[in-house]
Amino acid sequence: MGRSRTGRRSVNVWPALSDTILAFLLTVLLLLVFVVANSIRIDPGGPEPYREDQKEVTRIVKEVSAEYGSVSAPNTYGNAQEITLGNEALFESGSAVLSQEGRRLIADLVDRIAGAGLSTLREIVVKGHTDSEPYVGEKFPTNWELSTARASRVVRALTQPESGKRRIDPNRINLVASGYSKYQPVDRNDLSENRRIELRLIYSSTSSTGEE
């Protein structure tokens, strides 16, 4: 065995040939990957469209805060911003009726936001918060009802501003009122910091304005 009819030993060339074919195929595959990779143009991208709107809102809030002193600079979380309004400037203790100063503050803030041409603003969530002290009164059984009523009153103020001021159009921008009672405190040692209204502005890349 192992010899040909002529008496010579046969040589198995298949291992070497298969290695050559495999190397050739790998080379072709690498060249193909290289060609495809160079044909794909990677878009470096840029800032999200809502970034400019967020910058504008930050500027507006700074102006309003300088005038009223009860509005904090917005915190930004991706496509959302949160503006905090001090409760003392908006409501009397145990009340869900906006004070005169509160009406002016919200009307001024909304007038500027509605007139800023924010094309990516899609939703505003108004969040009412109370401190941990139990509510004492007849109108609201607990802080749940009080915080929700205050948030609802602010939503109404967004759509029904003072005379001559612009408003948020709920047909264009979703408006949500929610009450959190005492369960999202920002400072457990300072109850006054926990009594607040937060406006959460949510943006998208689609065009939607709140000006009217």
Distances in Å between the alpha carbon of 150 and those of 121, 181, 183, 196, 208?
23, 11, 16, 10, 27
CB 158 within 8 A of CB 114: no
* Residue 7, pLDDT score: 54
* Residue 186, pLDDT score: 84
d(CA 191, CA 130): 8
DSSP label of 9: B
Q: Which amino acid is at 85?
A: L
d(CA 138, CA 159): 28
Q: How many CB atoms lie within 10 A of CB 30?
A: 10
* Residue 9, pLDDT score: 58
* Residue 162, pLDDT score: 78
* Residue 161, pLDDT score: 73
Phi, psi angles (nearest 5°) of residue 179: -110, 135
d(CA 184, CA 20): 69
Q: Please give the angle made by the CA atoms of 134, 124 and 174, to the nearest 5 degrees.
A: 120
Q: Which residues in the chain land under pLDDT 70?
A: 1-19, 33-47, 206-212
**Residue 148, SS3?**
helix
* Residue 42, pLDDT score: 39
Structure tokens at 75: 């915190």
Q: Please write down the long-range contacts of 190-194, taking CB distance under 8 Å and 24 or more positions apart.
A: 191/131, 191/132, 191/133, 192/87, 192/88, 192/131, 194/129, 194/130, 194/131, 194/132
H/E element, 66: helix 50-68
Beta strands 196-203; 80-86: pairing state:
antiparallel
* Residue 89, pLDDT score: 86
